[in-house]
Amino acid sequence: MAAIRVAIAGALGRMGREVARAVGQDGELALVAGVVRAHPAVVPAEWPARVPLHVDLAEALAQTRPDVLVDFTTPTVVKQNALAAVAAGVRPVVGTTGLSAADGADLAARCAERRLGGVVAPNFAVGAVLMMQFARLAAPYFEYAEIVELHHERKLDAPSGTALATARGMLERRGRDFQRAATPTETVAGARGGELGGIGLHSVRLAGLVAHQEVLLGTLGQTLTIRHDTTSREAFVPGVLLAIKRVVALDRLVHGLEHLLELRIA
């Protein structure tokens, strides 16, 4: 069977480099292009010299004809990248966070029109996907919920895509909002965090962290805490490789790795 041709947008970013290394080591996959924001003065030694780096995504897709575009860029360009991929008949595998629900629906519609597969996963780590599913399962049984997500200081968006997906999944399963404890005096603005459907959302940004999240649920006389820690970016790689291999057989966009792992709790 011919190798699946893979291009990576954000090729020289932290995730892009992890994915490039893993794709290069996988016999079922062939790395055919990297897309970067600007050509680096010096191409890092780890980037395979035979694989071209492009600044223009459309040009990269036209010249190298990938089957799949993996995107680990920034919230500001992810949507246009994914739409450009679909327009070129290339399946998007999106790890970049910052796509709104409306953006996701748009992308799903474009994939459906072309009967093209796509994967958008706010978190490619299996433990994080399980955390989201366990939170979903618990949601109907508790009146109060808070999500604390903790990430490295260079993260561009807040709350994290994982925190948002967790909250949306909990609300969907519960079918109604959580109760939000009223705090009549907020001495420091924002101390109670953001809020979605009664769920408090708190984003910690701290050097030294990778990606961590705690879901706290409370009701009379008991609390439940579900916590996941990503201690290295290697955690995301198996999920990305799985998505690349599975997306070529899909004819629609799927949102969340749980659909590929059959982990979804209805």
Kindly list the catalytic residues: 151, 155
Amino acid at 183: T
104 belongs to the binding site for ligand NAD (CB under 6 A): no
Long-range contacts of residues 97-100, Cβ cutoff 8 Å, at least 24 apart:
97/122, 97/157, 97/160, 97/161, 97/162, 98/74, 98/156, 98/157, 98/161, 99/75, 99/161
Query: Minimum distance from CB of 242 to ligand NAD (Å)?
Result: 12
Amino acid at 98: G
Between CA 200 and CA 204 the distance in angstroms is: 13
Among 52, 74, 104, 106, binds ligand NAD (CB under 6 A): 74
List of residues 6+ apart from 122 with CB closer than 8 A: 97, 160, 161, 162, 164, 165, 256
Among 69, 77, 84, 86, binds ligand NAD (CB under 6 A): 77
119 belongs to the binding site for ligand NAD (CB under 6 A): no
12 belongs to the binding site for ligand NAD (CB under 6 A): yes
Residue number of the CB closest to ligand NAD reads 13
Match 């041709």 to its residue by tokens: 5
Q: Which lies closer to ligand NAD via its Cβ, residue 126 or residue 217?
A: 126
Do residues 8 and 36 make contact, with C-beta atoms less than 8 angstroms apart?
A: no
64 belongs to the binding site for ligand NAD (CB under 6 A): no
Residues 157-216 that bind ligand NAD (CB under 6 A): none
37 belongs to the binding site for ligand NAD (CB under 6 A): yes
> What residues make contact with ligand NAD under the rule CB under 6 A?
9-10, 12-16, 35-37, 72-75, 77, 95-97, 121-124, 155, 236
